Each structure stands twice: as C-alpha cells, then as structure tokens.
C-alpha cells in the first residue's frame, strides 16, 4: 500500500488520495466467504445503521440535496469527524462520492473547524470491497480546540446579547453582519479558512467570514447556506452566504462589507471614517451575480428579492436622478446626525448622472455648505467613495 501526500490551497476543493491494498493468499475453498464476510465488524454495523434525516441545530441544506446512499456516507463521515477519529470507515469505495459528500459536510457544518480544508485527506480502499477508510486529518490540539470553542461561545454570547424579543430575522442578520466586521480583520493566516480565524485569531479571509456567519445565524435559528464560487470572469475564489428572510433568499457577503477601501485619498486611514459597507447586506441579486458566480457542484436557491436590501429599507434607493432630491436627501441625513451619507441608484443612467454632477462637477459643495451652516463652521473637509458595480455613493464629512 502506498500513499502520496498532496495539498490543495483553493477554498473548498480537497484532493483525495486513494491507496489500494491488494490482498494475496489462498481462500479455503471448502468454506467460501462472500465479500461482506470479509468486512470489518465496524463496516457491517454501519450498513445496518439507519440514516438520520435531521441534525439538531443545523439546517444541513447540502445534506438534503444528496441521494440516499450519499446521505448515509454523510452521516458516517460526520459522526467520525465529530468524534475526531483518525480513520473513519465509510460504506463506499467510490472516490467521487466521497469527495462530493465531504464537501457537503464541510459546507453544512462550519463548527467543524478542526477539519481544515487545506489539510491532506487520505482515503484507503480495499480491492474488491465496497468500503473504504477515510482519514480527514485534523488541525488543532485538544487544548487549542477547547480554547477556540470558548472563543466561539463568547462571540455567540455577545451577539445574542443584542437580541431582544422584538428582533426580527433581518435584524439578526444585520447584527451578525456588523458584529463580524467589527470583530475581525481581513488577513491571510494559518486559520483563515475557518471560524477559528475569526473568533480565535480575529483574522481570516472570505471562507472564515462566511463560515462564521453561518455558525452564528444557525444558532439563532436563521436559515443560512454557505456558498463557494469565483469572481466572475476569473478563477479567484470567494465565499459568501445565502440567508432566508420571510421566505425569500438573499445574498450576504460580510467579507466585502469590511473597512471601505474606495474612499478618496487617505480617508480610509482616518479612525473617524471607519464605516460598515452595507451594500453587501442583501444586495440586489442581479448586481451581485455580475461580480460573483457560485460553484456548480451543488444547486442553490434563487435569490430574487430586494425587499430587505439596506438601501430599499432605508428609503435611500432612487430610480431616477434629480439634483434637488439628491440635495434634500443629504440634508435630511445631516439633520438626523448621520456621520455617513450613502445612497444608491437602481439604474446605471441615474447613477452616472449623480456621479457626474455631484462629484465631477463638485455639486457636493452645496451639501458641504449646508453642513458648515448646520455646525457653525467656516471650512469643512469631506471625502467620497463610489461602488461602481452596486451603483452606490458615499460622502463623509
């Protein structure tokens, strides 16, 4: 039997190494045995085990996309990983099936942070037998697992402390969105692909953010699907979530909601200008899908609704451009003490007109004048930002 060590660093894609063990020798012809008689007791026991269809506290969206055989393997794999078994018997020797099910398990169970999807994964099959031994490989020591689990629980306690009896589903999603942006920084690290990066090290990339969203929302009984894909027209990987609110599905991308990097000049460096980008909290589906495309490994529910888009909810999304309407909206936000003025346009034509007049022709000076009169100032410095793909304008004074 031989094994080859391989690594794969692309989020969500794990290389499997199948090693074939060839049995040699002579079977006693006077007492022939079937293949099942040669199977280990653990495998025979697994074949008799009923497949449980639900798992308390988890939506398991991807589990329910699998067929009966795949669901059985899913449960065998999940049970073994939870018990942190080094070698897990599975009642299949199909390499493709094992790969598909493993991806489903990882997508459904963000809490399994000790199975790092950059680790080596081995599967040993036995010639002529319909079972294999799956060895996922684990990342952390028992002491580290305890420490990370405590950090996860602390995060949930802090988020849950913001929930009241009147908090609806959208507000729960928004609370989690804002909490994670304030908690962590986008940064590569050894833990950046899982929730340990977010809750333990406070540093992660998109996969860590998206898994953290799923973990917290599932604990608050909000349906949330972890999604992997690519930036459209490139092979740059990305991860985000789909949440269900009032029976409709919405994209949520916490990674892109972090500290804005599009503000003019050095504004992004100013502490008083740190703000959350709500554009990726329930964005318009057709706009988001022009930026990212999901993997086709599994089907996903269609996101079509815009009711809970941040700008729609806050009456800051405009179908057409009107200079006076723009000015009045900015003044209203300043009257209400807003630190950031942000507004969105539904059409490219209206957005381009607003950018041309208020930025290129500097009509924003009119709003700056109102800000000075409101606060009794003789001068004011302001910065602006543009999200071209989402047709959004930001002004910070």
Question: What are the tens digits of pLDDT across the range 291-321?
Answer: 999 999 999 999 999 999 999 999 999 999 9
* Mean pLDDT along residues 249-268: 72
Mean pLDDT of the chain: 86
Looking at residue 106, the DSSP 8-state letter turns out to be H
Considering the entire predicted model, what is its pTM?
0.87
Pick from 80, 112, 313: nearest CA to 193: 112
Predicted confidence (pLDDT) per residue in 221-237, tens digit:
999 999 999 998 777 89
Give the pLDDT band of residue 386 (cuts 50, 70, 90): confident
> What is the predicted pLDDT for the residue at 187?
84
Under 8 Å between Cβ of 199 and 156: no
> What is the predicted pLDDT for the residue at 29?
32
> What is the predicted pLDDT for the residue at 340?
85
Pick from 174, 176, 172, 173: nearest CA to 164: 172
Start-end of H helices in 65-194: 68-82, 95-108, 142-160, 169-183
Predicted confidence (pLDDT) per residue in 43-91, tens digit:
999 999 999 999 999 999 999 999 999 999 999 999 999 999 999 999 9
Give the pLDDT band of residue 261 (cuts 50, 70, 90): low
pLDDT above 90 covers what percent of the chain?
A: 70
Under 8 Å between Cβ of 207 and 253: no
Give the pLDDT band of residue 37 (cuts 50, 70, 90): low
Question: Coil, helix or strand for 322?
Answer: coil
Question: How does 331-343 read in b/e, with b if 16+ C-beta sit within 10 Å?
Answer: bebbeeeeeebbb
Under 8 Å between Cβ of 274 and 291: no
What distance in Å separates the CA atoms of residue 108 and residue 121, rounded to the nearest whole number?
Answer: 18
- 143-313: CATH topology is C8orf32 fold (3.10.620)
For the chain, domain boundaries: 16-135, 143-313, 314-397
């Amino acid at each position: 039997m031989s094994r080859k060590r391989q690594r794969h660093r692309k989020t969500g894609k794990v290389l499997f190494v199948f090693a074939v063990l060839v049995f040699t020798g002579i079977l006693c012809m006077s007492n022939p045995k079937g293949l099942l008689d040669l199977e280990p007791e653990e495998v025979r026991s697994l074949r008799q085990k009923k497949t449980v269809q639900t798992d308390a506290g988890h939506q398991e969206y991807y589990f329910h996309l699998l067929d009966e055989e795949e669901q059985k393997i899913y449960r065998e794999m999940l049970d073994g990983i939870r018990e942190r078994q080094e070698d897990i018997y599975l009642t299949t020797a199909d390499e493709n099936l094992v790969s598909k099910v493993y991806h489903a398990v990882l997508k459904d169970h963000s809490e399994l942070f000790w199975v790092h999807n950059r680790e080596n994964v081995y599967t040993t099959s036995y010639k002529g037998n319909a079972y294999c031994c799956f060895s996922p490989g684990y990342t952390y020591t028992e002491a580290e697992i305890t420490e990370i689990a405590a950090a996860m629980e602390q995060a949930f306690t802090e988020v849950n402390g913001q929930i009241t009896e009147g908090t609806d589903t959208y507000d729960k999603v928004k609370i989690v969105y804002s909490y994670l942006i304030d908690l962590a920084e986008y940064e590569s690290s050894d833990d950046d692909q899982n929730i340990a990066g977010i809750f333990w090290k406070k540093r992660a990339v998109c996969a860590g953010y998206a898994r953290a969203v799923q973990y917290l929302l599932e604990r608050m009984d909000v349906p949330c699907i972890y999604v992997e894909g690519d930036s459209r027209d490139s092979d740059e990987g990305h991860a985000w979530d789909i949440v269900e609110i009032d029976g409709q599905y919405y994209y949520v991308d916490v990674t892109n909601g972090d500290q804005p990097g599009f503000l003019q000049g050095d504004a992004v460096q100013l502490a008083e200008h740190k703000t959350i980008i709500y554009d990726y909290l329930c964005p318009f589906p057709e706009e988001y899908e022009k930026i990212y495309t999901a993997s086709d490994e599994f089907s996903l529910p269609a996101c079509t609704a815009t009711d809970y888009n941040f700008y729609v909810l806050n009456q800051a999304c405009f179908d057409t451009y009107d200079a006076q309407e723009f000015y009045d909206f900015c003044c209203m936000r300043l009257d209400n003490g807003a630190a950031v003025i942000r507004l969105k346009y539904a059409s490219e034509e209206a957005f381009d007109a607003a950018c041309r007049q208020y930025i290129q022709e500097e009509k924003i000076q009119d709003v700056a004048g109102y800000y000075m009169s409101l606060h009794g100032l003789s001068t004011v410095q302001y910065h602006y930002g543009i999200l071209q793909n989402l047709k959004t304008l930001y002004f910070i004074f």
